[in-house]
Amino acid sequence: MEEVSVHGIPPGDLKQLLIACAKALAENNVNGFDKLIEKARSVVSISGEPIQRLGAYLIEGLVARKESSGANIYRALRCREPEGKDLLSYMHILYEICPYLKFGYMAANGAIAEACRNEDRIHIIDFQIAQGTQWMTLLQALAARPGGAPHVRITGIDDPVSKYARGDGLEAVAGRLSAISDKFNIPVEFHGVPVFAPDVTKETLDVRPGEALAVNFPLQLHHTPDESVDVNNPRDGLLRMIKSFNPKVVTLVEQESNTNTTPFVTRFVETLNYYLAMFESIDVTLPRDRKERISVEQHCLARDMVNVIACEGKERVERHELFRKWKSRFMMAGFEQYPLSSYVNSVIRSLLRTYSEHYTLVEKDEAMLLGWKDRNLVSASAWH
């Protein structure tokens, strides 16, 4: 430990050691970086404590940044991605063991149900349809409306790369929605659109008069580049296009993290703190030696971290912003905030109690923030 103490890092402080690695890299101190990374490698482990597991993936990201533009390893990680069924099952494990995805679905569905409660024809545009899981409970609730079920049309956008990785992505969603339609006796029409969000056009979305429009952005809008990457600012452009349809409600769920335009070392520290909270929350649910836990962290979380740390420019697609920044983007595009319902808030609170007492739910600026201990991790808000 002697040589590492020279860098002023207390022995055994892996967090400070990782930050020192990032600083050495930022200063182009290749020699120092190599020594520090070697030291860090000797104390990380994908089945250790949360910081040791996280450290293993952060090192991968730092080395990728040093060796190349980082894009290659991100692509390589994409190629090593589990095949269709596996990736879905990892996402499903994450869905079950942590409330993050459920929280987003419940908050968004509550806002959509509320905004469209008197509508007979509803068109939902989902910018990341994934397995279509989110809509099962909403369709069930709409089917039980006292005045009878509305006609629901769902346009599901899913980037073509995921479709390729998953094989039967959109076809499977169509089958699932059709089964729900039969089971609960609610008319559902589904249209799958395999394109990247920034490439969506008005024509693609087929918005029709006489339908109440609900637009859903689930942990997805941060993938659309903004003015710091592309002078045309596709992120704000997409919001303005959605505003032009005059939707009843737009739901936004995003990671509460600031990695978009921050300088490298700041971004590294932010990523470390954000995912450390997430890894700690996974720790209380799944034992450290469980193969599923390693798979979830590797396939659902590590790839995003590597992208934030190792990639720049257009290659960096994970560009998170804090809620206050999303708020100003939405307001600039002409939206007003739609308050989230107190009923949904109470349902989410009771859901969190079934997981761990360390989860927190804060209401701030008419949005809901889900956190772990003192760190907010996901924000949910609605707009019209």
According to DSSP, the β-strands at 212-218 and 375-383 are unpaired
Q: Note the pLDDT of residue 11.
A: 75
Span 113-137, average pLDDT: 95
In the structure, what pLDDT confidence band is assigned to residue 2 with cuts at 50, 70 and 90?
very low
Query: The tokens 């490298």 sit on which residue?
Result: 264
Q: Distance between CA 33 and CA 29 in Å, rounded? A: 6
* Nearest C-alpha neighbor of 240 from the set 165, 131, 330: 330
328-349 average pLDDT score: 95
pLDDT tens per residue, range 199-230: 899 999 999 999 999 999 999 999 999 999 99
How high is the pLDDT of residue 29? 96
CATH 3.40.50.150 in the chain, residue ranges: 93-256+320-383
Length of the chain: 384
Spatial distance between the Cα atoms of 243 and 252, rounded to a whole number of angstroms: 14
- The pLDDT-based confidence of 121 (bands split at 50, 70, 90) is very high
Least confident of 28-42, 61-75, 262-276: 61-75
**For the structural domain made of 93-256+320-383, what CATH number should be given?**
3.40.50.150
